[in-house]
Structure 1
Amino acid sequence: MSETVSFKVEAAVIDFIGMENLLNLQGGHYSNDFGIKTAEEISAMYEASELNTSKPILLININKLYRKDMSCMIAIV
Protein backbone atom coordinates (compact mmCIF):
# COMPACT_ATOMS: atom_id res chain seq x y z
CA MET A 1 0.00 0.00 0.00
CA SER A 2 1.40 3.38 -0.97
CA GLU A 3 1.84 6.16 1.57
CA THR A 4 -0.95 8.20 -0.06
CA VAL A 5 -3.38 5.27 0.12
CA SER A 6 -2.40 4.51 3.72
CA PHE A 7 -3.11 8.14 4.72
CA LYS A 8 -6.57 7.92 3.13
CA VAL A 9 -7.27 4.62 4.90
CA GLU A 10 -6.11 6.14 8.19
CA ALA A 11 -8.46 9.11 7.75
CA ALA A 12 -11.37 6.78 6.91
CA VAL A 13 -10.77 4.61 9.99
CA ILE A 14 -10.53 7.67 12.24
CA ASP A 15 -13.83 8.93 10.77
CA PHE A 16 -15.40 5.52 11.39
CA ILE A 17 -14.18 5.18 14.99
CA GLY A 18 -14.66 8.87 15.85
CA MET A 19 -12.09 11.26 17.28
CA GLU A 20 -13.90 11.22 20.64
CA ASN A 21 -12.98 7.52 20.96
CA LEU A 22 -9.29 8.03 20.22
CA LEU A 23 -6.34 9.71 21.88
CA ASN A 24 -5.25 11.37 18.63
CA LEU A 25 -4.67 15.10 18.84
CA GLN A 26 -5.67 15.55 15.19
CA GLY A 27 -7.43 13.72 12.40
CA GLY A 28 -5.51 11.71 9.86
CA HIS A 29 -3.90 13.06 6.71
CA TYR A 30 -6.52 14.20 4.19
CA SER A 31 -9.23 14.12 6.89
CA ASN A 32 -10.33 17.63 5.91
CA ASP A 33 -10.49 16.73 2.22
CA PHE A 34 -12.37 13.46 2.68
CA GLY A 35 -14.39 11.92 5.46
CA ILE A 36 -17.74 12.55 7.04
CA LYS A 37 -19.52 15.54 5.55
CA THR A 38 -22.97 17.05 5.87
CA ALA A 39 -25.30 17.17 2.87
CA GLU A 40 -24.70 20.93 2.70
CA GLU A 41 -20.92 20.43 2.50
CA ILE A 42 -21.26 17.85 -0.27
CA SER A 43 -23.63 20.12 -2.15
CA ALA A 44 -21.21 23.03 -1.83
CA MET A 45 -18.35 20.86 -3.12
CA TYR A 46 -20.08 19.35 -6.13
CA GLU A 47 -23.12 21.43 -7.04
CA ALA A 48 -21.75 24.95 -6.99
CA SER A 49 -22.62 26.92 -10.10
CA GLU A 50 -19.95 28.74 -12.05
CA LEU A 51 -19.35 32.32 -10.95
CA ASN A 52 -19.58 34.90 -13.71
CA THR A 53 -18.61 38.38 -12.60
CA SER A 54 -16.78 41.41 -13.88
CA LYS A 55 -16.11 42.66 -10.35
CA PRO A 56 -12.77 42.07 -8.61
CA ILE A 57 -13.00 39.26 -6.07
CA LEU A 58 -10.82 37.65 -3.43
CA LEU A 59 -10.98 33.91 -2.78
CA ILE A 60 -9.69 32.53 0.48
CA ASN A 61 -9.13 28.80 0.88
CA ILE A 62 -9.59 27.84 4.53
CA ASN A 63 -8.52 24.28 5.15
CA LYS A 64 -5.99 22.60 7.45
CA LEU A 65 -6.59 24.75 10.56
CA TYR A 66 -10.38 25.08 10.26
CA ARG A 67 -12.62 23.03 12.55
CA LYS A 68 -16.40 22.79 12.26
CA ASP A 69 -16.82 23.87 15.90
CA MET A 70 -14.93 27.15 15.38
CA SER A 71 -16.82 30.42 15.38
CA CYS A 72 -15.79 33.20 13.08
CA MET A 73 -16.60 36.78 12.32
CA ILE A 74 -16.37 38.18 8.81
CA ALA A 75 -16.20 41.90 8.19
CA ILE A 76 -16.85 43.20 4.70
CA VAL A 77 -15.78 46.75 4.17
Structure 2
Amino acid sequence: MYIPPSEFDPYSWAGTTNSLTVSKSTSSNNNQASAGYYIGNRNSMKFHLPSCSSVAKMNEKNKVRLNSRQEAIKLGYVPCLNCDP
Protein backbone atom coordinates (compact mmCIF):
# COMPACT_ATOMS: atom_id res chain seq x y z
CA MET A 1 0.00 0.00 0.00
CA TYR A 2 1.47 3.32 -1.07
CA ILE A 3 1.14 6.32 1.22
CA PRO A 4 2.28 9.60 -0.33
CA PRO A 5 4.75 11.69 1.66
CA SER A 6 3.32 14.49 3.73
CA GLU A 7 4.52 17.59 5.51
CA PHE A 8 4.17 15.75 8.83
CA ASP A 9 7.52 15.26 10.58
CA PRO A 10 7.30 11.76 12.09
CA TYR A 11 9.86 12.64 14.78
CA SER A 12 8.10 15.71 16.15
CA TRP A 13 4.97 13.93 17.39
CA ALA A 14 6.68 12.78 20.57
CA GLY A 15 7.59 16.31 21.54
CA THR A 16 11.28 15.74 20.92
CA THR A 17 13.32 18.01 18.77
CA ASN A 18 15.36 16.54 16.01
CA SER A 19 17.92 18.60 14.14
CA LEU A 20 17.88 16.16 11.22
CA THR A 21 15.55 17.31 8.46
CA VAL A 22 14.83 15.35 5.34
CA SER A 23 14.48 17.25 2.11
CA LYS A 24 14.21 16.36 -1.56
CA SER A 25 17.59 15.94 -3.21
CA THR A 26 18.64 18.84 -5.41
CA SER A 27 21.20 16.83 -7.34
CA SER A 28 19.10 16.96 -10.49
CA ASN A 29 19.04 20.75 -10.29
CA ASN A 30 22.81 20.77 -9.86
CA ASN A 31 23.18 18.63 -12.98
CA GLN A 32 21.16 21.08 -15.03
CA ALA A 33 23.09 24.05 -13.70
CA SER A 34 26.38 22.53 -14.79
CA ALA A 35 25.05 21.46 -18.21
CA GLY A 36 23.02 24.62 -18.82
CA TYR A 37 20.41 23.02 -21.09
CA TYR A 38 17.79 20.30 -21.40
CA ILE A 39 17.02 17.64 -24.02
CA GLY A 40 13.47 17.45 -25.32
CA ASN A 41 11.85 14.52 -27.13
CA ARG A 42 9.75 15.57 -30.14
CA ASN A 43 7.72 12.36 -29.94
CA SER A 44 6.83 12.24 -26.24
CA MET A 45 6.99 16.02 -25.66
CA LYS A 46 8.97 15.41 -22.45
CA PHE A 47 12.19 17.18 -21.49
CA HIS A 48 15.13 15.67 -19.65
CA LEU A 49 18.43 16.48 -18.05
CA PRO A 50 21.29 15.58 -20.42
CA SER A 51 22.39 12.93 -17.88
CA CYS A 52 18.97 11.19 -17.82
CA SER A 53 18.98 7.51 -18.82
CA SER A 54 15.99 8.18 -21.08
CA VAL A 55 18.12 10.44 -23.30
CA ALA A 56 20.44 7.53 -24.16
CA LYS A 57 17.43 5.51 -25.36
CA MET A 58 16.05 8.38 -27.45
CA ASN A 59 16.32 8.35 -31.24
CA GLU A 60 18.68 11.13 -32.39
CA LYS A 61 16.11 12.59 -34.79
CA ASN A 62 13.70 13.13 -31.86
CA LYS A 63 16.18 15.08 -29.70
CA VAL A 64 15.68 18.82 -29.32
CA ARG A 65 18.05 21.09 -27.37
CA LEU A 66 16.17 23.40 -24.98
CA ASN A 67 18.02 26.27 -23.32
CA SER A 68 15.86 26.56 -20.19
CA ARG A 69 13.06 24.94 -18.23
CA GLN A 70 10.84 27.92 -19.04
CA GLU A 71 11.49 27.51 -22.76
CA ALA A 72 10.62 23.81 -22.58
CA ILE A 73 7.34 24.44 -20.78
CA LYS A 74 6.46 27.33 -23.11
CA LEU A 75 6.90 24.98 -26.10
CA GLY A 76 4.56 22.40 -24.52
CA TYR A 77 7.11 19.96 -23.09
CA VAL A 78 6.50 18.31 -19.71
CA PRO A 79 9.21 17.25 -17.20
CA CYS A 80 10.51 13.68 -17.25
CA LEU A 81 9.49 11.63 -14.22
CA ASN A 82 12.88 9.86 -14.05
CA CYS A 83 15.27 12.81 -13.77
CA ASP A 84 12.78 15.44 -12.53
CA PRO A 85 14.32 18.46 -14.27
TM-score by length of 2: 0.23
When the two structures are superposed, what TM-score results if normalisation uses the length of structure 1?
0.25
- Name the larger-Rg structure: 2
More helix by share: 1
Q: Hey, which of these two has a bigger chunk of strand by percent?
A: 2
